[in-house]
Amino acid sequence: MEIILGSQSPRRRELLAGLGMPFAAVSIDADESYPGELQAGEIPAFISRTKAQAYAEQLRPDQLLITADTIVWSDGHMLGKPHSEQEAFDMIRSLSGKTHQVYTAVTFARKAPNYQLETIVDCTDVTFAELTDEEIRHYITCYRPMDKAGAYGVQEWIGYIACTAIHGSYFNVMGFPTHLVYAHLKKYIQLNG
């Protein structure tokens, strides 16, 4: 069984590699829009399935495809990737001094014995300290988090200074709930030692 990771995220590639199984990585272009009535974890679940379906024609029977999507959910609203520095600033300001949720969905797609998609969703509560405007501006200027949901990376400076606590999986906040992926894939993993 060949494992294919359908993600451009260097963090997801690093975390899957850390599970110790060989895989190939591909980029999948997919429309990331979703029905407006979806809430919280339903959103990345839908998008991770869209990504898997966009690769369905190329998937071979001896392959297992993994796709994923991560969103930040705060006060009943989704925070996606910011479109400007001002939007990044507003997003981080809105997270300051509060607890938000990070949802990551992972979809596993196989073609044999029949075409099937299986999706798992993980949620982690993340609590941020109060941040000054100067700290938020420093982070945006030095780390340019325009490619990150909610405009922050927990493994970067802002995570070091602001993240006072999480409740759930840390790797899920990074974008890949490794313990759930491992539980799903362990039948394919050869342990040594």
90 is catalytic: no
- 68 CB contacts (<8 Å, ≥6 apart)? 7, 9, 12, 44, 48, 51, 104, 105, 106, 107, 175, 176
Per CB under 8 A, which region of 24-32, 56-64, 111-119, 156-164 contacts a second copy?
Answer: 156-164
Residues 44 and 63: their CA atoms lie apart, in Å, by 23
Q: How far is the CB of 18 from a second copy (least distance, A)?
A: 5
**Residue 21 engages a second copy in binding (rule: CB under 8 A):** no
Q: Does 10 bind a second copy (CB under 8 A)?
A: no
Among 60, 77, 98, 179, the residue binding a second copy under the rule CB under 8 A is 179
Here's the x/- map for a second copy, 112-141, by CB under 8 A: it reads as -----------------x----xx-xxxxx
Residue 108 binds a second copy, judged by CB under 8 A: no
Contact status, residue 144 vs residue 85, Cβ threshold 8 Å: no
Nearest to 33, CA basis, from 83, 69, 86, 87: 69
Residue number, 30 or 163, with CB nearest to a second copy: 163
Residues near a second copy (CB under 8 A), total: 35
Can you tell me which of 1, 24, 112, 142 binds a second copy, judged by CB under 8 A?
A: 142
Rule CB under 8 A: say whether 42 interacts with a second copy. no
Interface region with a second copy, contact rule CB under 8 A, candidates 22-30, 45-53, 66-74, 164-172: 164-172
* Nearest of 90, 71, 168 to residue 127 by alpha carbon: 168
SS3 65: strand
Q: Rule CB under 8 A: is residue 163 a binding residue for a second copy? A: yes
Q: How far is residue 82's CA from residue 189's CA, in Å, rounded to a whole number? A: 37
Nearer to a second copy, 40 or 157 (CB): 157
How many whole angstroms separate alpha carbon 171 and alpha carbon 17?
A: 13
24-26 and 2-6 strand pairing: parallel
DSSP letter for 172, please.
Answer: H
Binding residues (CB under 8 A) for a second copy: these are 15, 18-20, 129, 134-135, 137-142, 154, 156-157, 160-171, 178-179, 182-183, 191-193
Active site members: 69
